[in-house]
Amino acid sequence: MSSATQSQPHSAPPVTDEQRRVIAWGDRLLDGVRATAFWATATLPLLLLAGLATGVAGQYPLALAAVLAINVVCAVVGHGHSPER
């Protein structure tokens, strides 16, 4: 029979002040990206309506598809944003 060895969990090294600043900066950047995507999701339909009203969307269907795709991506990325914060 073999003896079972118990492995001890590794403890994480302490986080330095510099690492905390980098993490905080990354969090602020992510919040900014989410906020931008959130508001882009809210305003891009206005661009789509203007394009449909002027007939530009009919002349450039690929541009219409691109704006729709960008709107979907912005909706997914901006989903976690809360305007109250």
Tens-digit pLDDT string for the chain (85 aa)? 555 556 666 787 888 888 889 899 999 999 999 999 999 999 999 988 998 899 888 899 998 899 999 999 999 999 888 877 5
Spatial distance between the Cα atoms of 40 and 46, rounded to a whole number of angstroms: 10
User: Cα(63)–Cα(38) distance, rounded to whole angstroms?
Assistant: 21
What pLDDT does 56 receive? Answer: 86
Largest pairwise CA distance in the chain: 82
* CA 50 to mean position of chain CA atoms: 26
Q: Tell me what pLDDT residue 1 has.
A: 54
Residue whose token pair is 């118990």 = 6
Q: List helix spans (H) across the chain.
A: 17-54, 56-59, 61-77
